[in-house]
Chain A
Amino acid sequence: MFSDRRWSSACSLACALLLVACGRPSKPSDRNPPPTSSIADAGATPADAVAVAIADARPYVRDEEAWDYLATFSDEHLRGTARAEKWLLAHPDRARPELLRCVGQTWWNQITSHAYRLLGVIGHEDDVPVLRAVLMSGAEREAHYAAMALASMPHESAFEALEEGVGSPEPEVTGTSIFALGERGDERARKTIERRLADDLISVRRQAIYALSKLGVEPSRALLEQRVRVETDTGVLGVLAEVLGAAGSP
């Protein structure tokens, strides 16, 4: 699923970027989360490995105020989160280290998806490599949220990371990257996505059709109609009919 070489590359990249991204002075703290290195030692998933890279990038000292605001997102009913989000977005330099910490945490909790989302909204280019590393890790859920964060970032590097994701040998990464490119709405991705209409995997073909529907059906109508004639999967045919029907006749 994830080669050692790519794992090392991702970790190195994440480490390097974290050192830049999280430039706050630091000192060891007894409130630091426990060391996560043991996860990697224990044969962790690729996403855990990326988490290790982020966690170990530098000694971490929690910004209590930023953390308190971010922790609000663990409220079962999200009370107070509108105010918290406002503060976090107004203080991106203080929010980002905590958000990155969440992205690299060892288990998924209610904060995590919001952390990815907020990183995307803040849209700091230094975070692109970290998100790219998570995307390329192949861990399905993390990859999806990393891709969506990249989709909302305006930088060229974010676009390139998603295009790279489309070329991943991991079908989950390919699919989620196509999905995110569709959400991003960048016309330059059309050709890349169109090529995936004929992918061997049904899930990738469905994602490609969906992404093209987000970009606009008309420029790809001929290809989509051609696909109708050769497609064998009834589910994909249903999606094609839906997309072409929704777009109306040329």
Chain B
Amino acid sequence: MPGGVAQKRETDREPDVVAMPEADADQDAADQQVAVRESHEAIGREEVPDEGREESPDVDEAAVSAEDEAASKLQHDLTIEMGGGSHTVTKKDTLWEISEATYGHGKYWKKIRSANPGKVSARRNGHRDLIHTGDELALPLVKVGPRDAFEAMVVNDPALREFADQFAMNDEQLMGMLQQARSTGMTYAQMIDAQRQFYEAQAAERGISAGEYIAEMHGSIGGGTNAGKSTKWAEEVENGREAAWQARFEAAEEKVRTQSRPDVRQAIEEATANGGVFKWNPSKLDALGVVAMGSNWNITVGMDWVEAAEDDVDRVAASVMHEMFGHGAYGAVRAMFVANESFAQLDPEEQAKANPALVSLTFGYWESEIFAELIEFGHDRVDNPTDHAFGVNPSGEDMSDGKTQTHDVRKQLQEAKAGVAPTLLPGLLQGLWRRIQNEERIQDEARAMFLRDVREVLGDVL
């Protein structure tokens, strides 16, 4: 077993999943890049209205099909279906070894024997495990644990081990990653190559280069705004209020830790156990104009978050669950990894045309973001200072009254459709879906609405 495939969730195993540009230069670059894009051409396989921006469909948010509703139940299943196909026996083959190569462990050899009556003979000692050179053995589909599946899959896909070593994974995370590999039917190298070809094909359709295409997409999807200098925090500093704000932050953190709903407190405890902390960075968040950011199991907050928490801890529950728990629990984001690696395959001069800091945010962030939004859904309320997963929350409140964006899940799916190779996307989604199915903090209602949105945006891919 590779050392990186840890048995528990670990911290610091992943780049900043929020991947907000750290420097103003990145923001400026994104702003400059957005100016390039005027085309309203479709991105991806089908027309995406107005540069990927969602039209305003009249969706009955509560309406999901009976099929989606039935499929939305929590399912704690940490197995991957391995096998299928056949194996032609060669000299020196044993059932144990065939099982090891197919399912990651020799202990499944009897499954092969059962699937091949008449092709496995008894030895003189009575053990019925003798196979014959030249025979074609059927390899049945067997549900195996993620660690066995990993060992089987890494034989043909060594980059899986690199990924696992880089981002030590728990069983949930490993299962999701393997499901993605299994569903795409590609090795890592093939996935990265497919995404690179996608960049190039999209660029060719537009008559531009791959680097230029990526830069355009930064502006369309990934680029943040240049919110300008940090005036509010600067004024607070000039007023000599830094210490007072620090105290308010600490009090707000304590209030959230102790007065939030039990499930939020429990999630905070889990994040804390994984090394997550509340970070106070008002200068950065004020400059960006965001309420909170997340990385690993951490949540970074600014003045607006503190004021909302002071007002009512439930107002920040969604942000805590989203940033601290949602992204933290999801762990390494395979789509981001593929995006970055495929970008790195481009010629250096093409890479220089885009902003490397925005590549994963633009083309891969949707995967973790959807998971985080679904986690957040159970805590969403109309005065949540940030956006909303769907048009309603579990209480049936109309989130459009909150004067912030609704349907973020749908937006993420549209971004995925626009920026991910069609050969990859269904498989990546299936891995994400396994994670969603297994996560007890995601409500069935959210799962059902996610399925509905997937059908509407991408068709029958799950």
Given A74-B386, A79-B224, A79-B361, A206:B240 Cβ within 8 A: yes
Decide if A102 touches B403 in the complex (CB within 8 Å): yes
Decide if B385 touches A108 in the complex (CB within 8 Å): yes
Given A33-B403, A73-B225, A77-B361, A202:B240 Cβ within 8 A: yes
Decide if B383 touches A109 in the complex (CB within 8 Å): yes
Question: Interface stretch among B48-56, B181-189, B422-430, B453-461?
Answer: B48-56
- Chain A residues contacting B53 (CB-CB under 8 Å) are 68-69, 80
Which among B19, B35, B240, B303 is the interface contact of A235 at CB below 8 angstroms? B240
In Å, the complex CA distance between A64 and B55 comes to: 9
In Å, the complex CA distance between A74 and B407 comes to: 12
Decide if A110 touches B239 in the complex (CB within 8 Å): no
Q: How far is the CB of B336 from chain A (nearest CB, A)?
A: 13
The A-contacting residues of B in range 9-32, CB under 8 angstroms, are 18-20, 30-31
C-beta contact mask, A58-88 vs B, less than 8 Å → 1, else 0?
Answer: 0000001000110111111111111111100
The A-contacting residues of B in range 60-94, CB under 8 angstroms, are none
Which among B304, B362, B401 is the interface contact of A108 at CB below 8 angstroms? B304
Question: Which residue on B lies nearest to A102, using beta carbons?
Answer: B403
Q: Say yes or no for B212: interface residue by CB 8 A criterion.
A: no
Q: Say yes or no for A124: interface residue by CB 8 A criterion.
A: no
Chain B interface size, as a band, is 35 or more
Q: How far is the CB of A19 from chain B (nearest CB, A)?
A: 21
The prevalent SS among residues of A at the interface is helix
C-beta contact mask, B383-411 vs A, less than 8 Å → 1, else 0?
Answer: 11111000000000000111111101000
The A-contacting residues of B in range 230-254, CB under 8 angstroms, are 231-232, 235, 238-240
- Chain B residues contacting A79 (CB-CB under 8 Å) are 221-224, 361-362, 365, 415
Q: Say yes or no for A198: interface residue by CB 8 A criterion.
A: no
- Chain A residues contacting B56 (CB-CB under 8 Å) are 64, 68
The B-contacting residues of A in range 72-129, CB under 8 angstroms, are 72-86, 101-102, 105, 107-111, 113-114, 117
Decide if B385 touches A83 in the complex (CB within 8 Å): no
10 closest A-B pairs by beta carbon, nearest first, are: A74-B404, A78-B224, A71-B405, A82-B223, A81-B225, A82-B34, A109-B385, A74-B387, A210-B238, A74-B405
State the B residues within 8 Å of A (CB).
18-20, 30-31, 33-35, 37, 51-54, 56, 218-228, 231-232, 235, 238-240, 288-294, 303-304, 307-308, 319, 322-323, 361-362, 365, 369, 383-387, 400-406, 408, 415
